[in-house]
Structure 1
């Protein structure tokens, strides 16, 4: 069995493999994150705002299109990644969109959601994705806004 086949068998739900790891190294694209990977969507009515975006504006504009006049709103899915080894926040949860790290959850949200995120990943052997959108304009920049189900994360 080749490496690509091993990854496919071990990182896709429904296989006999262990699924994705609980956490991934900070600031690096996790090895398990690849094109075509499957993720579990946790949709809901609870709102999350992604922070740490100023350095990622170019990536966000590439997602929505650089020549969009006026207000922008592009639907996306944000993949949550519990980071380990983050020197600034031991509870860090990064947000990835389109294979790019675009920010993180605010510290208070990350510390509340991280245990549920890890539980969901273990239970379903899939990455967790939240629906949301990239929104903003040329003058104020773009932001990432996600929604989730607090009950699914054990926060009822």
Structure 2
């Protein structure tokens, strides 16, 4: 095991390797994988969804009546290799990157996300929904702030 792999394993825990801030699906993310859901009533702001409208429409169905509201579970992925924001957290839905947490939310939640991944040895999923109309769809997630160690 090289130094980079050893360091990645120490930073992210077993089973959830580091990922770079790209649109490529992380190797550990596979169809049917198990994740730990963190259910709560605190709202989480997702940014960057306008750049992923094709993916969001493919998830809710292009022939769907508007307005749209589709319940989902999204994976949070810490982007340790992000050169702009070391606390960046991407939001993945159906194997596609659909946005990221706003920087202030990512800064507060990233340490708790990494702690939860290490503790439970699996990815963290949040419940939410995709909603909007023909002018655009957005991703809205809920979480439990206490589970992430913030209040």
Q: Distance in 1 between matches of 2:83 and 2:65?
A: 39
1:113 CA displacement: 0.2
What is residue 28 of structure 2 aligned with on the other side? 32
1:110 CA displacement: 0.2
What is residue 65 of structure 1 aligned with on the other side? 61
TM-score for both structures, normalised by structure 1: 0.85
Q: Distance in 1 between matches of 2:14 and 2:48?
A: 32
Query: What is the Cα-based RMSD across aligned positions, in Å?
Result: 1.3
Runs of 5+ consecutive residues of structure 2 not aligned to the other structure:
1-12
Within-5 A mapping of 1:145-156: 145-156=140-151
Q: Distance in 2 between matches of 1:78 and 1:49?
A: 13
Runs of 4+ off more than 4 Å: none
Cα deviation digits, residues 63-83 of structure 1 (max 9, x gap): 001012221000001100000
Q: Distance in 2 between matches of 1:50 and 1:40?
A: 20
Greater share of residues in helix: 2
Runs of 5+ consecutive residues of structure 1 not aligned to the other structure:
1-16
TM-score for both structures, normalised by structure 2: 0.88
Structure 1 residue 82 corresponds to structure 2 residue 102: no
